[in-house]
Amino acid sequence: MRKKYGPLYVTPLTVWLAAFFVIPISIIVYYSFLTKRPATGGVIHQFSLEAYTALINPLIFRIALNTFWVACVSTVIMIALAIPTAYYMARSKYKNFFLLLVIIPFLTNFLIRIYAWMAILGNNGILNNALASIGLIDSHIQFLYNVNAVILLTVYTYLPFAILPLYSTIEKFDFSLLEAARDLGATKLTAMLRILFPNIRAGITTAVLFTFIPAFGNYAIPQIIGDAGSYMLGNVIARELTVTRNWPLASSLSVVLTTLTTLGVLLFMRFNRSATEGAAAMAAAAKRRQGMRAAI
């Protein structure tokens, strides 16, 4: 008898997903097959593949490669930083304190934090002034408005998303396994590589998905502190949507981006079967966020 109410319980979620995920995505897909209204921009409700053929363009291809490259470099840096951090946190007596430290940045708005970084890295910023006052530099160093600044800020922004899933897997790891490996003749490094890493693979997978996807869909960071060399797909979409007003093109690019990311995630998960269902669910949520951001 109790089972009868089952479908009722999922109704709120169904409504939520339909309203905020399925419908917007459908609109984007629909718009991508429409014709661009000339001159003023917007759409004419008339079928066209023009928006897709326009994507076959060396410039867009180059930007896509660049986006992929920046996302990859950022992800590698984040994982490399997050594993030792999460390991230390999990073994520390002050776990909860460190968790709090990781979460604290979320209490401040994302854009405000980026502007804070500009105050630090700017030509007349804190860092340049500090370096000049101790006589290390004569003129300022150009920290901002290049691809390195984009990578730095991407790493800064999404690092907690790498630390948290890694922390939760490492915390469950049985550290006596490392002692067993040492006991059986492994050096500290071998024990880490052959025992720790395979056993926290689920956490690494989740961390990669959580960081790569938002880094790939990056828009605000390159917009504010990037230059032409760090122009990313997210920026193209935003420009086509707001400046050029080529809505079909913005939509087709979003559709391709979302499809590629989804395929990539599925492929990646296939290679990492140990990734838990929980990780998959969280990855789907992250992907949804990314899809929405690209759509906005």
Residue 188 CB, shortest distance to other proteins, in Å, is 8
Of residues 112, 114, 139, 293, the one with CA closest to residue 219:
293
Q: Give the count of beta carbons closer than 10 Å to the beta carbon of residue 21.
A: 13
Residue 269 CB, shortest distance to other proteins, in Å, is 18
* 35 vs 276 by CB, closer to other proteins: 276
Both tokens of residue 8?
């009722």
Residue 201 CB, shortest distance to other proteins, in Å, is 8
Q: With CB under 8 A as the contact rule, which of the stretches 97-105, 179-187, 219-227, 245-253 interacts with other proteins?
A: 179-187
Residue 232 CB, shortest distance to other proteins, in Å, is 37
* 66 vs 272 by CB, closer to other proteins: 272
Cα separation values, 40 from 27, 123, 246, 278, Å: 20, 39, 9, 46
Write out the DSSP string of 32-60: HTEEEPTTT-SEEEEE-SHHHHTT--HHH
Q: With CB under 8 A as the contact rule, which of the stretches 60-68, 93-101, 169-177, 257-265 interacts with other proteins?
A: 169-177
Q: With CB under 8 A as the contact rule, which of the stretches 82-90, 102-110, 125-133, 178-186 interacts with other proteins?
A: 178-186
Q: Tell whether residue 193 is a contact of other proteins (CB under 8 A).
A: no
Q: Give the count of beta carbons closer than 10 Å to the beta carbon of residue 17.
A: 13
Q: Tell whether residue 199 is a contact of other proteins (CB under 8 A).
A: yes
Q: Tell whether residue 172 is a contact of other proteins (CB under 8 A).
A: no
Of residues 144, 153, 122, 287, the one with CA closest to residue 219:
153
Q: Tell whether residue 179 is a contact of other proteins (CB under 8 A).
A: yes
Q: Tell whether residue 195 is a contact of other proteins (CB under 8 A).
A: yes
Q: With CB under 8 A as the contact rule, which of the stretches 7-15, 54-62, 193-201, 231-239 interacts with other proteins?
A: 193-201
Cα separation values, 217 from 86, 133, 147, 178, 203, Å: 25, 39, 15, 38, 22
Q: Tell whether residue 84 is a contact of other proteins (CB under 8 A).
A: no
Q: Tell whether residue 227 is a contact of other proteins (CB under 8 A).
A: no
Q: Tell whether residue 183 is a contact of other proteins (CB under 8 A).
A: yes
Q: What is the DSSP letter of 9?
A: H
- Cα angle 141-147-149, degrees, rounded to a multiple of 5: 55
Q: Tell whether residue 176 is a contact of other proteins (CB under 8 A).
A: yes
Q: Tell whether residue 192 is a contact of other proteins (CB under 8 A).
A: no
d(CA 203, CA 279): 8
253 half-sphere exposure, CB direction, 13 A CA radius:
28
Both tokens of residue 81?
């930083």
Q: Tell whether residue 236 is a contact of other proteins (CB under 8 A).
A: no
Residue 274 CB, shortest distance to other proteins, in Å, is 8
Q: Tell whether residue 91 is a contact of other proteins (CB under 8 A).
A: no
Q: Tell whether residue 190 is a contact of other proteins (CB under 8 A).
A: yes
Cα separation values, 105 from 83, 154, 159, 181, Å: 19, 14, 11, 37
Residues that bind other proteins (CB under 8 A): 174, 176-177, 179-187, 190, 195, 198-199
